[in-house]
Amino acid sequence: MTATVIDGKAFAAKVRGQVADHVARLKEAHGITPGLAVVLVGEDPASQVYVRSKGKMTVEVGMKSVEHKLDADTSEADLLAVVKSLNEDPEIHGILVQLPLPGHLNEDLVINSIDPAKDVDGFHISNVGLLGTGQKSMVPCTPLGCLMMLRDHHGSLSGLNAVVIGRSNIVGKPMAQLLLGDSCTVTIAHSRTKDIQDVVRGADVVVAAVGRPEMVTGEWIKPGATVIDVGINRIDAPEKGEGKTRLVGDCNYDSCAEVAGAITPVPGGVGPMTIACLLANTVTACCRANGLAEPEGLTA
């Protein structure tokens, strides 16, 4: 068996197209432009690249893009003041504080200072609680992207056995809640799970989000299962030359692809969906703020 490749890059382009269409309708029918503000503290290279990409794609879909770049030694009070000003700005519908923050800043305090209705990352404790109780919330972008791809591939997820490997607040836990919401039977596996290979082998859907390079092999996968690989790990690649590296997921792609029915690649799988879903969340937040119908297919 050779798995069908779930092309996250192509799917993300489709989602961005849907977002752009809805933004155009909001402008034409209501004179409203969704606005996304990103706050970056410090000069972490990966965060800088990510923020630039977010800003570029925000503009490409027709939305307003605002960036606040703060020095690494910015005080907590000054950062909270920036967040407060964005909370109060009616032209900003989504606020994202780029993580990680410098060590002297309390990430939980900062995230929970964002207006929950503008928390397009879905990390605010209010949104976590709403998602956990099956109520309308802002949904974390990476799990939302995974859910969209699974729905697109399977149609209905009802009754499927799903295993989420990893219990992080950013991916593992919200992913499990979303799968429960679509009537899957869900198990969360992690580093302390006994006989984890046997647990995973019973799954129709495997979402690997554990942060360990190529941990999941084909021997773990039930024939025909769908594998969503959230991991992005950089490992040494001596075959490419001295000091060279390459990106791999949490799954050993080649061995899993021989057994699975469908699989996401790394890179080009879940990664592109994260920014696409950030844009989708911003449009959803804008519609909710203005009492308008939410865009179909862009939220959970």
Q: Which residues are catalytically annotated?
A: 54, 98, 121
The Cα 203–Cα 259 span in angstroms is 13
- Which residues make beta-bridge pairs with 233? 248
The Cα 180–Cα 158 span in angstroms is 9
Residue 45: cis peptide before it, omega within 30 degrees of 0: no
Q: Which amino acid is at 225?
A: A
Pairing of strands 233-236, 205-208: unpaired
**Residue 17: both structure tokens together:** 């197209």
Q: Which amino acid is at 237?
A: A
Q: Which residues contact 229 (CB under 8 A, 6 or more apart)?
A: 208, 216, 249, 250, 251, 253, 256, 263, 264, 265, 266, 269, 270
Residue with tokens 């992207």: 145
* Angle, in degrees to the nearest 10, between helices 8-30 and 271-289: 20
**Cβ–Cβ < 8 Å for 10, 268:** no
SS3 79: helix
